[in-house]
Structure 1
Amino acid sequence: MFVIAGLGNPGTKYADTRHNIGFITIDYLSQKLNISVNKIKHKALIGEGYVGTEKVLLVKPQTYMNLSGESILDIVEYYKLPMENLIVIYDDIDLAKGVLRIRPKGSAGSHNGMKSIIYLLQRDDFPRIRIGIGKQPDYMDLADYVTGKFAKDEIPIMAEAAKKAAEAVQEIILKGIASAMNKYNG
């Protein structure tokens, strides 16, 4: 089984914000794979289904971004999940808007959701898909930028990035992470 976790913040206040591109990608995947993500379990909204013959669990932690690790740890322990079967999708200010970066492991960088996950799992050797949201303008506070809604001109770029990230998830599951990195890394 694979767990695909998109990071974000719960509630309508944070819908369609830069920090929620992980949630947006899970929503896109859920539509494409016809999986309802509406059960509350493991401090998350979850939905079960299949990619090909592989069982998948789509996950949107409901702990708020900075505590994402609580939900992910609970799921990993409950399902005794091997690390290579955990795929985490999240925003990255160090990548240009819409650019994907897929890695089999790595540090959290400046991302608090990933810091929480790595701290609680006590490891960083799981696949991740980072989606670039670009740097905040000099006049803007980082927290305000990441929790801000997309500008009109960003919406098509980010919608395409979420679609590509969803395709990359399927590529990882069906053909492996090396294939996904070759095909989708910007």
Structure 2
Amino acid sequence: MTGKDSQPKHFLIVGLGNYTHPNTRHSVGQVVLDSLAERFQVPLSYDRSVMGWVGNTEIDILPQPQKGKGKGKQAADAAPPEPERIKFTFLKPKLLMNVSGKSVALTLRNKIRPSTNRSIIVLHDSLEQKPLKISPKYSGSANGHNGVRSTIDSLAGQDFHRIRLGIGRGPQDVADFVLEPLPSKELSHWDGTEAEGVSEVWKAVEAIVASAK
């Protein structure tokens, strides 16, 4: 548990997308963000100071099991690990994708304590991952994603977490492909409190939080 004299860890989870085009491939990050907010009963309200919808909560996160441990009588007799209470701020930018980083930077500066780029977890669509697949990544280039590029520019650094949500590639022009509605199978995978994709994303979030120093 977090000591009385220390601040709990505080993470910012961002769902990138174009709110004017809901449930499209390019907005799958916002689909998942909305599902997580509903899952943990976090109301999102519009905050002009950060140009986006924001909600706050605290969630208990169990430590991740260490490799090579957890076997034998001694482990069986050990007390179960205590969860750590973690603060989360959920953000859905109102700004369009290619300038959404400004909302991320404002929220980090104004809402997150302690404030560090490593406290950011960005959920975004990825052409490089197959549909329904997720791929966590820390730091690195935007790889052509305008929302990630805007976030890098606004933060003046690449060192933040991303969870890439696979949408694959279609035969048509990329700009047209990403603005198409998510196929029903993909939408049901990402939309809903108990949706399989949402559960996978949350496991990735837990792993990121548990590994934070």
Q: TM-score range by the shorter chain?
A: 0.7 to 0.9
Q: Which residue of 2 aligns with 1:176?
A: 211
Q: Which residue of 2 aligns with 1:69?
A: 101
Q: Which segment drifts farther, 23-32 or 75-84?
A: 75-84
2:12–2:120 contact (8 Å) kept in structure 1: yes
Q: Secondary structure at the match of 1:154?
A: helix
Larger Rg: 2
- Do structure 1's residue 31 and structure 2's residue 71 form an aligned pair? no
2:23–2:187 contact (8 Å) kept in structure 1: no
Identity %: 30
Q: Secondary structure at the match of 1:57?
A: strand
**Structure that is richer in helix per residue:** 1
Q: Could you state the TM-score of these two structures normalised by the residue count of structure 2?
A: 0.75
CA distance in 1, matches of 2:12, 2:184: 32
Q: Which residue of 2 aligns with 1:55?
A: 87
CA distance in 1, matches of 2:101, 2:143: 15
Q: Which residue of 1 aligns with 2:18?
A: 9
CA distance in 2, matches of 1:4, 1:123: 17
CA distance in 1, matches of 2:101, 2:129: 23
Give the letter for the 2:19 counterpart. Answer: P
2:24–2:179 contact (8 Å) kept in structure 1: yes
| Deviation for aligned residue 1:122 | 1.2
CA distance in 1, matches of 2:59, 2:135: 21
Once the two structures are superposed, the pairs formed by residues 1-186 of structure 1 within 5 Å of their partners are 1-11=10-20, 14-41=21-48, 42-52=50-60, 53-78=85-110, 79=112, 81-137=115-171, 140-159=172-191, 160-173=196-209, 175-176=210-211
Give the letter for the 1:45 counterpart. Answer: W
Q: Could you state the TM-score of these two structures normalised by the residue count of structure 1?
A: 0.85
| Structure 1 residue runs without a partner (length 5+) | 178-186
| Deviation for aligned residue 1:87 | 0.6
Deviations 1:91-113 (A, max 9, x none): 00011111111112111001000
Which consecutive segments of 4 or more residues in structure 1 shift more than 6 A?
none
CA distance in 2, matches of 1:35, 1:158: 18
> Between Structure 1 and Structure 2, how many residues are aligned?
172
